[in-house]
């Protein structure tokens, strides 16, 4: 790991200014991707701007129709939130399955979403629930947010401040972990709103989280496990590696969607 | 009998655990010496390349750099290369083709991770920064990582072996075996792959090397399973210093599993280089990624195996041809593993009149392969038990009954592959395992699983292993460069506490407890008054270390022999002090009594008397109470058992769960059943790891290790094990006739037995003939797809 300047700004404004001033600065939430890549010499930022000391950067607010999670909220706080457990139980469950205990106490929702790891869990929830991602500049729909492997619609210097999740009628999360890393080899987050409209967010299967629109259509028509699991997903465009072929990942999307449909509440 | 609470057979809690689990162990990395520097190794990024030049000029000028050493420096100082301590001859009589293995790469690198330079600096950061500033110019050469392809590859790992073949070894009678196959009523033939494993002991390898400029002697602290062997090799073969000028200390060591038996370049480089920096100690602690890249790996066999049977289902012959990967260099004991630790076990528990095995040992551009928990015996057991299970299925016989029909039932039994089995009762273990696993009701459990979308299967493994690895003369005749005996010294202090100096080395096995239990049993001394001293060549005179499940059968027998001498001498002293004949002295529960009188002395009183010399004639009886012994076993020991595994395979995802696991083992007499159970559980965990989870993968195109971290290399977790209620252990006992304690060995059994039990269960569940290890969800799902086992 190379030496770097470490900053701990108290406001979003100050953080943005620091990044602008730095030669090759990086924002950091929990640091669970950034720090390992720095240790391996794959990243060598000149400045680390730690966002976790920003005042009021974390927190959970649940209204009648929206769950708002501020960017600095840890996975543990989401997993333990009584309000979220009541409003969107699958979201709390999913947060409780991210990484291990240490990771959940440090990792943040904003960091996870901004990093857009192809196997991260939160992107599937954002897509599966139709979330809106709020930054210091604007609001972005989840559907337009995840653009590629570790790529998002965020512009240089932009900071996620909160994520707004509409409360569905029912939802569920299913994850098939990579046997070694325990990241999602494939994960599915599914919801159905009051009008019967279904969204299915998928992570781990492709370079970027995506919506399984064929399964959404099938489930909107007939909300059942069989309806979801009998949709054949095309393997083309999905990832292939030593842990899973594209065909296996495609198969898992249908299997997990079926299980999620059965488990949805 | 001693107090049964701490003697032989008592499940005493491990004395050493409190310090280990409260962070008070003293591992190599915990030790810091005065003026210590940090070593860092620059490693090869290429699988195979010529080193054209190494430019260290810029790096040497960097902050904190104390010294930089390359292969040329090693050569200039005439430091010898790493050796393979077991000579194997090919069947044509030619000796194995051992290529050079310099402490630091010279002229050529042969695998990704090969050490190219040692950078010594004040801090690790400085050492790493300087290493990155070294400019190495490489000429990349063709490489090969797949053992099956290496003999026909363009890549030539060592000049001495143009076809990359180290040796072509054989054992058994080829003509008789071929004749048996010609007459066979049925032949079962299989291609069997034993996947490459990466040991991953919890503590990475580490070393602190220092040179004392005053006494001109070296000290090496290191993570070794056998510090005396390390001293012998570094002294006699590397030629660093004579043995009395080299001290090797292996303090607490956090797991070895074989990978810390070997003498590696890093440790030798650290102790050697200290002399050139004014004797300042050099500490190197391997990072986990270095463990993955550079610790000796295990297994990696590709085998064609055949079993011949007569019309009655009796096995008449076995024919095996194995390609065994050795990696880029021959590691310390590597040549013995796919030969005398493998071919000799191919008879399994069965009466097989004809066996012929041929092994091609092959260089590949990968980390060296050497002994890993089981070492050759897991590979042999996998071949035998996959063949036997498959043969039973082909003959439509119950796999348990097919085994029983072919079991060896009378002892001693001479196999066609050297081994003379001394004692055992394989049928008893099978009966017990069938009973404990409720085999007769398997069908109802299978039906229950099917209701939940799960395919259930049951698999057997009737394994045998040879531990102890002895007698010395026998292993010497087979090519071993050392004798495989053990030594012990018993020092009784004047107040009756006892110090045991042993050549065995504990790195997780619990010797501080079990060895003390033997002393407690024999001398009636509380185990807390017994100190086990090991792991320091300045304290223990000589020893062969711990591997091959030998510390009980060999190491404790040496202690037992020394205790015999202690008891004999103490009796003489007691007799003299109590003015009686030595023939009238009886010793029981730590008390000496004189037959027919009420005279008695405690063990502590006799110990004190032995050092006072007030009440016996010191010209007749020598002062003190200290004895030593060497023990060279008369035969191997043969632990054996039957393991039965049931799995459930998820039809939708291919995920396999161990539904239940039953292990029945015959280890002879047990010293501490709790520790033995722990050894079985740990071994089974590693065996399940090999079967379901672990597998080293090198990229064919780049030669890079793809499974270079825990993100991709899947170590067993608690959740991969069967639930504790479904993980049953049982024991049978036929005492070992070749040692006075009747002990066999238990350290490797689980890792040997489990892989075929698991794979036999999965193939049974799926109705397929074979499935590759590790049977990951992807592998199982793919097999189900090709078998068209549909979810619906």
* A12 and A97 fall within a common domain: no
Task: Give domain status of residue A54, yes or no.
Answer: no
- Contact flag A243-B778 (C-beta cutoff 8 Å): yes
Least confident range from B16-25, B347-356, B544-553, B724-733: namely B544-553
Any idea what the CATH number is for the domain that residue A69 is in?
Answer: 3.30.465.10
Q: Is A253 on the interface with B (CB under 8 A)?
A: no
CATH, domain range B143-193+297-409: 3.30.365.10
CATH, domain range B17-23+485-631: 3.30.365.10
Task: Give domain status of residue A252, yes or no.
Answer: yes
Residue B661: its H or E element: strand B656-666
Residues of B whose CB is below 8 A from A180: 693, 707, 710-715
pLDDT bin (cut points 50, 70, 90) of residue B616 is: very high
- Contact flag A176-B653 (C-beta cutoff 8 Å): yes
Any idea what the CATH number is for the domain that residue A41 is in?
Answer: 3.30.43.10
Q: Considering Cα of B4, then B10, then B12, then B14, what sign does the dihedral take?
A: positive
Residues of A whose CB is below 8 A from B655: 176
Q: Which residue of A has its CA nearest to B652?
A: A255
By Cβ distance, the residue of A180, A243, A255 closest to B653 is A255
* A35 and A74 fall within a common domain: no
Task: Give domain status of residue A248, yes or no.
Answer: yes
- pLDDT score, position A2: 84
HSE-up of B132 (CA within 13 Å, CB side)?
9
The answer to whether residue B88 scores a pLDDT higher than 90 is yes
Minimal CA separation from B324 to chain A, in Å: 23
- pLDDT score, position B792: 40
Q: Is A243 on the interface with B (CB under 8 A)?
A: yes
Task: Give domain status of residue A249, yes or no.
Answer: yes
User: B33-141+205-285 adopts what CATH topology?
Assistant: Aldehyde Oxidoreductase; domain 3 (3.90.1170)
pLDDT bin (cut points 50, 70, 90) of residue B2 is: very low
**Using CB atoms and an 8 Å cut-off, which of residues 160-189 of chain A contact chain B?**
176, 179-181
- Contact flag A251-B693 (C-beta cutoff 8 Å): no
Q: What is the pLDDT of residues B156-169, one digit of tens each?
A: 999 999 999 999 99
Q: What is the pLDDT of residues B242-296, one digit of tens each?
A: 999 999 999 999 999 999 999 999 999 999 999 999 999 999 999 999 999 999 9
Q: What is the pLDDT of residues B189-211, one digit of tens each?
A: 999 999 999 999 999 999 999 99
What's the rounded mean pLDDT across residues B751-777?
97
Q: What is the pLDDT of residues B476-510, one digit of tens each?
A: 999 988 889 999 999 999 999 999 999 999 999 99
* CB distance B763 to B457 below 8 Å: yes
Q: Given the DSSP bridges, would you call strands A25-28 and A47-50 parallel, antiparallel or unpaired?
A: parallel
Q: Which residue numbers in chain A have pLDDT < 70? A: none
Number of domain units in chain A: 3
Architecture of the domain spanning B422-466+638-792: 2-Layer Sandwich (3.30)
- pLDDT score, position B791: 41
Q: What is the pLDDT of residues B167-186, one digit of tens each?
A: 999 999 999 999 999 999 99
Q: Is A97 on the interface with B (CB under 8 A)?
A: no
Q: Given the DSSP bridges, would you call strands A198-203 and B165-172 parallel, antiparallel or unpaired?
A: unpaired
- pLDDT score, position B4: 53
- Contact flag A248-B782 (C-beta cutoff 8 Å): yes
Q: Is B779 on the interface with A (CB under 8 A)?
A: no
Neighbours of B183 (CB within 10 A): 11
Residues of A whose CB is below 8 A from B715: 180
* A91 and A71 fall within a common domain: yes
* A194 and A256 fall within a common domain: yes
- Contact flag B693-A176 (C-beta cutoff 8 Å): no
| A155 to A42, B65, B427, B644: CA distances (angstroms) | 22, 43, 72, 59
Which domain does A213 fall in, by range?
170-263
* A131 and A70 fall within a common domain: yes
Cβ-based neighbours of B237, under 8 Å, separated by 6 or more:
B80, B81, B83
- pLDDT score, position B722: 96
* A103 and A145 fall within a common domain: yes
**ipTM value > 0.85:** yes
Q: What percent of chain B has pLDDT over 70?
A: 99
More confident residue, B752 or B474: B752
Residues of each domain in chain B carrying CATH 3.30.365.10 = 17-23+485-631, 143-193+297-409, 422-466+638-792
Q: How many CB pairs under 8 A join A and B?
A: 37
Q: Where are the alpha helices (DSSP H) in chain A?
A: 12-21, 34-39, 75-80, 82-87, 89-95, 101-106, 109-115, 122-129, 213-221, 225-229, 246-263
Minimal CA separation from B791 to chain A, in Å: 10
Residues of A whose CB is below 8 A from B777: 176, 179, 248
* A71 and A162 fall within a common domain: yes
Answer with the one of A103, A136, A166 that is the final residue of a domain. A166
* A142 and A196 fall within a common domain: no
* A141 and A193 fall within a common domain: no
- Contact flag A179-B777 (C-beta cutoff 8 Å): yes
- Contact flag B711-A243 (C-beta cutoff 8 Å): no
The answer to whether residue B135 scores a pLDDT higher than 50 is yes
- Contact flag A180-B782 (C-beta cutoff 8 Å): no
Answer with the one of A133, A166, A199 that is the final residue of a domain. A166
* A81 and A118 fall within a common domain: yes
Task: Give domain status of residue A257, yes or no.
Answer: yes
pLDDT bin (cut points 50, 70, 90) of residue B79 is: very high
* A38 and A64 fall within a common domain: no
- Mean pLDDT over each residue of chain B, to the nearest integer: 96
Any idea what the CATH number is for the domain that residue A211 is in?
Answer: 3.30.390.50
- pLDDT score, position A263: 97
Task: Give domain status of residue A31, yes or no.
Answer: yes
């Amino acid at each position: 790991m190379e030496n770097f300047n470490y900053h701990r700004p108290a406001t979003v404004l100050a953080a943005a200014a620091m990044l602008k001033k730095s030669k090759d600065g990086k924002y950091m939430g929990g640091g669970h991707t950034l720090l390992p890549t720095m240790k391996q010499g794959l990243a060598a930022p000149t400045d680390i701007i730690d966002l976790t000391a920003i005042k009021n950067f974390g927190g959970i607010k649940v209204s009648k129709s929206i769950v708002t999670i501020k960017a600095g909220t840890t996975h543990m706080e989401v997993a333990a939130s009584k309000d979220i457990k009541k409003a969107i139980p699958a979201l709390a469950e999913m947060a409780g399955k991210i990484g291990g205990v240490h990771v959940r106490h440090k990792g943040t929702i904003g960091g996870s979403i901004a990093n857009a790891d192809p196997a991260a869990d939160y992107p599937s929830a954002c897509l599966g629930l139709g979330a809106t991602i709020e930054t210091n500049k604007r609001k972005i729909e989840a559907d337009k947010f995840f653009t590629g492997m570790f790529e998002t619609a965020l512009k240089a210097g932009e900071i996620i401040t909160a994520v707004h999740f509409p409360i569905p009628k029912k939802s569920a999360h299913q994850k098939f972990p990579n046997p070694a890393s325990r990241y999602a080899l494939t994960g599915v987050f599914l919801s159905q709103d009051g009008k019967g409209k279904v969204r299915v967010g998928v992570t781990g299967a492709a370079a970027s989280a995506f919506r399984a629109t064929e399964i959404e259509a099938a489930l909107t028509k007939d909300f059942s496990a069989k309806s979801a699991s009998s949709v054949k997903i095309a393997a083309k465009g999905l990832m292939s590696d030593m842990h899973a072929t594209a065909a296996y990942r495609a198969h898992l999307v249908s299997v997990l969607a079926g299980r999620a449909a059965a488990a949805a509440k | 009998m001693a107090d049964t609470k701490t003697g032989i057979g008592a499940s005493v809690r491990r004395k050493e655990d409190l310090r280990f689990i409260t962070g008070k162990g003293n591992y190599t990395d915990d030790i810091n010496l005065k003026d210590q520097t940090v070593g860092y190794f620059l490693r090869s990024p290429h699988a195979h390349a010529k080193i054209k030049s190494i430019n260290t000029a810029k790096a040497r000028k960097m902050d904190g750099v104390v010294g930089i050493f390359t292969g040329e420096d090693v050569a200039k100082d005439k430091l010898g290369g790493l050796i393979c301590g077991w000579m194997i001859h090919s069947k044509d009589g030619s000796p194995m083709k051992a290529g050079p293995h310099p402490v630091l790469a010279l002229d050529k690198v042969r695998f990704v991770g090969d050490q190219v330079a040692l950078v010594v600096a004040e801090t690790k950061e400085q050492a790493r920064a300087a290493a990155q500033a070294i400019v190495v110019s490489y000429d990349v050469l063709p490489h090969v990582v797949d053992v099956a392809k290496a003999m026909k590859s363009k890549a030539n790992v060592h000049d001495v072996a143009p076809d990359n073949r180290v040796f072509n070894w054989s054992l058994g009678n080829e003509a008789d075996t071929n004749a048996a196959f010609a007459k066979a009523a049925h032949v079962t033939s299989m291609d069997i792959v034993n996947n490459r494993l990466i040991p991953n002991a919890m503590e990475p390898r580490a070393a602190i090397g220092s040179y004392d400029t005053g006494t001109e002697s070296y000290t090496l602290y290191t993570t070794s399973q056998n510090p005396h062997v390390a001293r012998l090799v570094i002294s006699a073969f590397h030629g660093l210093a004579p043995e009395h000028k080299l001290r090797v200390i292996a303090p607490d060591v956090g797991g070895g599993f074989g990978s810390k038996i070997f003498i590696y370049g890093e440790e030798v480089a650290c102790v050697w280089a200290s002399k050139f920096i004014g004797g300042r100690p050099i500490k190197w602690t391997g990072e986990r990624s270095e463990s993955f890249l550079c610790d000796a790996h295990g297994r990696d066999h590709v085998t064609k195996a055949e079993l011949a049977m007569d019309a009655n289902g009796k096995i008449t012959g076995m024919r095996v041809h194995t390609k065994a990967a050795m990696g880029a260099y021959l590691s310390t004991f590597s040549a013995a593993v796919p030969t005398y630790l493998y071919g000799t076990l191919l008879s399994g528990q069965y009466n097989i009149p004809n066996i012929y095995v041929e092994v091609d040992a092959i260089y590949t551009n990968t980390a060296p392969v050497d002994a890993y928990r089981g070492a050759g015996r897991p590979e042999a057991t996998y071949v035998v038990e996959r063949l036997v299970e498959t043969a039973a299925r082909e003959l439509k016989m119950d796999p348990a009954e097919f085994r029983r029909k072919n079991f060896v039932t009378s002892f001693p039994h001479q196999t066609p592959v050297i081994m003379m089995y001394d004692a055992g009762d394989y049928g008893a273990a099978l009966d017990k395992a069938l009973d404990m696993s409720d085999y007769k009701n398997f069908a109802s459990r299978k039906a229950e699983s099917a209701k939940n979308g799960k395919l259930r299967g049951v698999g057997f493994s009737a394994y045998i292993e040879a531990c102890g690895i002895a007698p010395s003369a026998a292993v010497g005749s087979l090519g071993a460069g050392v004798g495989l005996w053990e030594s012990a010294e018993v020092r009784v202090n004047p107040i009756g506490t006892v110090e045991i100096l042993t050549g065995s080395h504990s790195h997780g096995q619990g010797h501080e407890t079990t060895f003390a239990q033997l002393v407690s049993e024999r001398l009636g001394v509380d185990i807390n008054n017994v100190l086990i001293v090991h792991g320091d060549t300045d304290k223990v005179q000589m020893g062969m270390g711990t591997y091959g499940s030998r510390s009980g059968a060999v190491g404790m027998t040496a202690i037992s022999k020394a205790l015999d001498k202690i008891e004999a001498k103490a009796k003489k002293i007691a007799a003299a002090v109590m003015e009686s004949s030595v023939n009238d002295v009886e010793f029981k529960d730590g008390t000496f009594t004189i037959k027919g009188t009420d005279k008695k002395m405690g063990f502590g009183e006799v110990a004190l008397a032995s050092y006072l010399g007030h009440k016996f004639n010191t010209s007749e009886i020598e002062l003190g109470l200290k004895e030593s012994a060497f023990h060279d076993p008369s035969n191997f020991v043969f632990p054996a058992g039957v393991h039965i595994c049931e799995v459930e395979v998820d039809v939708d995802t291919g995920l396999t769960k161990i539904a239940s696991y039953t292990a029945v083992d015959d280890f002879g007499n047990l010293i501490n059943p709790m520790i033995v159970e722990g050894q079985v559980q740990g071994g089974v965990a590693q065996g399940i790891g090999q079967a379901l989870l672990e597998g080293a993968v090198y990229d064919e195109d780049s030669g890079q290790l793809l499974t270079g971290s825990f993100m991709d290399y899947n170590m067993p977790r608690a959740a991969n094990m069967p639930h504790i209620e479904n993980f049953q252990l049982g024991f049978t006992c036929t005492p070992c006739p070749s040692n006075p304690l009747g002990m066999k060995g238990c350290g490797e059994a689980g890792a040997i037995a489990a892989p075929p039990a698991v794979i036999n269960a999965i193939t049974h569940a799926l109705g397929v003939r074979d499935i590759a290890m590790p049977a990951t969800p992807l592998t199982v799902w793919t097999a189900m797809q090709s078998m068209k086992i549909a979810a619906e």
